[in-house]
Amino acid sequence: MRLRNLLLKRLLQLLAVSWGVGTLTFLLMRALPGDMAYRIAAGRYGMDAVDSDAAALVREELGLDQGAWSTYWSWLGDLLQWNLGNSLVSGQPVSESLWHMLGHSLLLAGAGILLAALIAIPLGLASAYHGGWLNRILLTLSTGMRALPVFVIGLLAVVVFALELNLLPVAGFGTPAHLVLPALTLGLSLAAIANRVVHTEAERVFNAPFYEFAQTKGLSAWQAFLRHGVRNMSVPVVAFFGVQLITVVEGVVMIESLFSWPGIGHGLAHAIFARDIPLIQGAALMMGILFVLLNTLVDLACYWLDPRGGQLA
Amino acid sequence: MKNKLITVFLGGLALLPAAVTAEPNQQNTVNIQAAFEFSSLDPTRSGFVFTRMQVLETLLNVDSQGGLLPGLASEWSIEDGGKLWRLTLRDQVHFHDASLLTAQQVADELNRGLNKISALRGLPITSINANADNQVEIKLSAPYRPLGAALAHYSTAILADAAYNDAGEVTALIGTGPFSVQEIAVPHKLVVERFDDYWGKKAQIEYASYLTGHRAEARVLQARSGQADIVFGLDPASVPMLKRLPTLEIVRSDLPRTLALKLNAGHRFIAEPEARQALSLAINRQGIATAILRAPDAATDQLLPAYMSDWYLDGQSEAYNLEKAAGMLAQLGWTKNSEGWLERDGERFELDLITYADRPELTTVATAVQDQWKQLGVKLNVNVTNSSAIPSGHSDDSLEVALIARNYGIIADPLGILLKDFASSDKGGDWGSMNWSNTWVPETLNAMVSDNDAAHYQEQAQSIAEALYNERPLIPVASYVQQTAINKRLSGFRFDPYERSYFLNELSWK
C-alpha cells in the first residue's frame, strides 16, 4: 500500500517535472541572444555555408516567424502524443537521437559508477579499518585526484594504457574495449570522493557502541561487519552513488569529447550551440524523468536497507 | 538427409573464416580521423564527408589547380553563348543498390538541389532536363562561367532514387562512388566498404572508417598510437613530435582558406581606405603565423593564395610598419590621448570584433590582433560567439569587425565565391565586403561570369585583386596550412586542396 502511494506520488512528480523542465528549457532557449534561424543554419550547413539565404530558408521551413506561444502549444500537444518532434539540424526524430546518445551515456555512466564502487568501497573500508598511514595516503591521493581536471586524468590514462602499453584504443566507440578508458577515467574521478564518503560512514559505524557490543558479545570481526556494519553504512553510500549517477549522465562532456564518445552531454552541448530546441527539450525531459526514476529507486533501496528511516515519501 | 545436413554444416564452417575476416577490423580498415561532424544524411548539408569518403560523386571533378575533370559526366559542352550546358553521362554507372544511373534521375536530383542550400541555388538556371541521348541539359538565363565548379561541389552529388522517402528526405546514402556505406552513426562515425561494381578505379582497401575526433589532442594521440591511419587537422604544436616517429609521415598542404578581418567599411572610423590600410599595416602577420599557426610562410596580406594566380598579385606585399600606420591615422585626424588610445572629435577609436570558436586558432589570433592594434592606439573588444553571428551581424548592420576563416575553394572556381562575397547585394556579401563604397568590383565580377576571353578575364581578375589589396574591404592575415599524419603502412595518399575527396581508392597497404 505504502509502495503504491509512493509510486503514485512519484508519477505525479514525474508529470510536473516533465512539464516544468520542458517549459523552462523553452523559455531559456527563447531568451538566449542571437537569431535562431542563423544559429540553426550554422548547425545544419556548417560555418562555410551559413549565410542570410540559408537562414531565410530555415526560417521559412521551420516557421520560425510564428509566435512563441503557438510553437510552445504545438510542442506540448506533440508531447501529449509521445512525440518529441524532429531535430531542427539533422531532421531525424529526436527520440532516435536521444536513444542513441542516452544509451551510450548510460552505458558509460553505469560502467564508471561500477568501477568507482569497485575502487572506492574497498579503499574506503580499508582506510577506516586501518586508519593511520593508509588513511593519510588515501586522503592525499583522493585530494590530488579530485584536484585534477577530468580530461587530464583521461589524457594520462590514454598515455599509459593506449600509447605506452598499447592495450586499449585511444578513442571511439563500438566495441567493449572502447568503453574501458572513458569508464576508468570517470571511475577514478568519482572514486576520489566516493572513497571518502565510504571512509566516513565506515568509521562512524566501526566506532559506534552497537558495533563494539557486537564484537564484545563474541562475533568475529567479519561476522560483525556483515551483520551490523554493511547495512548501517550503506544507506548514505547508496544515496551518494545514486545522486552521482545522474550528474554523471549529464556532466561528462569533457570525457565524451576526449574519447569521441557519442553521449548525451556532448550532444546536448552541440544542440545548445545550434539552438536545436526540440533536441534540447527532449534531452532535458529525459534527464528530468531519469532523475525522478533514479531518486525513486534510491529511496526504495535505502528503505529496503534501513526500514527505520521512517515513511516512504 | 543426414549427409546433406553435414555437408551444409561443413560448408558453413568453411565459409566462417571468410565471413569473420570480411568484418571491418584494424587490419583491413583505413581509420580516418578529422575534426568535423556530419549532422545529416542530406548531401546539401553534410555532403562534404560523403564525397570525401567517396560514397557520393558529382557530375564533374576538379584537379589540384581547380581545372574541371570528368566525373559522372564523361564530357560536357557549353553552347548558345554560354547559356546551355550539355553534360553526357557515363554509360553503365551503377548505384550501390545496383540500379543504373540515368539522365532523368540526374536531372531530378539537380532540380531538387535548386530548392535547397546547394551550390546551384541562386544561379541563373532556368531549367534542367534530361534528353534521350543520356545527356543532361542545363539552360541558363545568362552565361555563368563557374557552373562547372558548382557541379563539382558536394551539395550537387548524385543519390539514387531509393535514397529518398516519400517526403523527399534522404533516408539512406546510396551513391555511385567506389565505396558504399557499411555503418553510419550520425554525427560521428561512418564506415564504408569497397564497391566492386564501381565504374572507375576500383579500391584496393576493403574498408575505411571516418570518426570525428573533436579534440586536437585526441587526434594527435590517435595518430601516435597507430590506431588512426590518416589524421587530418593536426595541432601545429604537435607536428615536430609526430615527425620524429618512424611510423608516421606528415604531409603539409596549402589550403585555399584565408584568415581575414571582415570590416564594416560603412563604420565612421574605418570608412576611409587609408584607415583600413593603417590597420592592416599594424598587424604583425609574421609574428602571428610563426607563434600561433607555427607556419611562418603562411603569413599573407592577399586574400587569395598564390596558386590561384589570376587573383594573386605577384611580388606585392607590405611589411608590418607601425610607424607608417600611426602616421596615416594621424593624417586622418586621430591623436593619442593621455591613456594611449587614439581619439578624434572626442571619440575613442574603439571597435568590437566578433569571431567564433569552431576553429581554435581564431580566438588566439583575435587576441593577438587586439594586442597589436592596442600598440597603434586602437581599442578592440573581442567577443567569441557562433559563426552565424557574422552573416547575422552583416545583415542587421551591427557588425564592426569580424575575424573569419574563409574558404575560397568551396567552389573550385574562386569567381563563384567572390561573387557571393563582394557582389551578392548592394551591401556586399555575408562573408565578404560590408558597406564598401566601391561599385566597380561587383560590376566587374558580374561581367566576368560571361567572359570567355582568357586574357581579358585574367586582366580583370588582377584589377580586382589590386582593388581588394589597396582598399582593404577585408584585411587578410594568414593562409591555412593543413598538416596530415599518415601511417606508413599505407601508400598512395594524396591531398586534395579543395577537400572534395580523400582518394581512398588510390590507397593500398604496404
pLDDT tens digit sequence for A36-67 = 888 888 888 888 888 888 888 888 888 777 77
pLDDT of residue B7: 46
CATH number, domain with residue A223: 1.10.3720.10
Q: Would you say B136 and B128 are in contact if contact means Cβ atoms under 8 Å apart?
A: yes
Domain count, chain A: 2
Say if the ipTM goes beyond 0.90: no
For the stretch A69-82, pLDDT in tens is 887 888 788 877 77
Domain assignment of residue A312, yes or no: no
Residues A210 and A268 in one domain: yes
Residues A120 and A229 in one domain: yes
Which domains does chain B carry?
4-229+489-509 (3.40.190.10), 255-481 (3.10.105.10)
Residues A203 and A176 in one domain: yes
Residues near B502 by beta carbon (within 8 Å), at least 6 away in sequence? B32, B52, B53, B54, B208, B230, B496
Alpha-carbon B297 to chain mean position: 21
**Candidates B189, B215, B391; nearest CB to A258:** B215
In A157-176, the residues whose Cβ lies within 8 Å of chain B are 158-159, 162-163, 166, 169-174
Mutate to test the interface with A, among B155, B388, B431 (most CBs of A within 10 A): B388
pLDDT of residue A169: 86
Residue B480 to chain A, least CA–CA distance (Å): 14
Domain housing A5: 1-88
pLDDT of residue A84: 80
- CA B219 to each of CA B25, B233, B237: distance values in angstroms, whole numbers, following the listed order: 19, 8, 13
Comparing B13 with A267, which gets the higher pLDDT?
Answer: A267
Preceding peptide of B187 cis, ω within 30°: yes
Tell me which chain B residue has its CA closest to the CA of residue A45.
Answer: B45
Domain assignment of residue A43, yes or no: yes
Residues A100 and A78 in one domain: no
Domain assignment of residue A126, yes or no: yes
Residues A171 and A262 in one domain: yes
Residue A170 has pLDDT above 60, yes or no: yes
Comparing B219 with A249, which gets the higher pLDDT?
Answer: B219
Q: Contacts of residue A48 in chain B, CB cutoff 8 Å?
A: 407, 410
* Residue B275, φ and ψ in degrees, nearest 5: -65, -40
Residues A79 and A180 in one domain: no
pLDDT of residue B22: 66
Residues A84 and A104 in one domain: no
Contact status of B427 with chain A (Cβ, < 8 Å):
no
Domain assignment of residue A222, yes or no: yes
Contact status of A57 with chain B (Cβ, < 8 Å):
yes
Nearest CA to B123 out of A48, A61, A53, A56 is that of A53
CB atoms within 10 A of CB B407: 19
Residues A12 and A124 in one domain: no
Buried b (16+ CB within 10 A) or exposed e, B305-315: beebebbbbee
Entry pTM: 0.82
- What is the radius of gyration, based on Cα positions, of chain A? 24
Residues A182 and A83 in one domain: no
Domain assignment of residue A186, yes or no: yes
Contact status of A102 with chain B (Cβ, < 8 Å):
no
* Residue B498, φ and ψ in degrees, nearest 5: -90, 0
**Residue B45 and residue A45: Cβ atoms within 8 Å?**
yes
Residues A54 and A121 in one domain: no
Domain assignment of residue A311, yes or no: no
**Residue A42 and residue B388: Cβ atoms within 8 Å?**
yes
**Residue A163 and residue B224: Cβ atoms within 8 Å?**
yes
CB atoms within 10 A of CB B272: 17
pLDDT of residue A233: 82
Residues A225 and A148 in one domain: yes
Residues near B444 by beta carbon (within 8 Å), at least 6 away in sequence? B460, B463, B464
Domain assignment of residue A185, yes or no: yes
Q: Which of A56, A88, A120 is the last residue of a domain?
A: A88
Strands B230-231 and B29-34: parallel
Q: Which of A88, A114, A140 is the last residue of a domain?
A: A88
Residues near B316 by beta carbon (within 8 Å), at least 6 away in sequence? B302, B469
Q: Which of A34, A63, A88 is the last residue of a domain?
A: A88
pLDDT of residue B467: 96
pLDDT of residue A72: 81
Out of A155-159, B210-214, B411-415, B466-470, the most confident range is: B466-470
Contact status of A271 with chain B (Cβ, < 8 Å):
no
Domain assignment of residue A100, yes or no: yes
pLDDT band at A220 (very low <50, low <70, confident <90, very high): confident
> What average pLDDT does range B293-298 have in this prediction?
88
Residues A84 and A119 in one domain: no
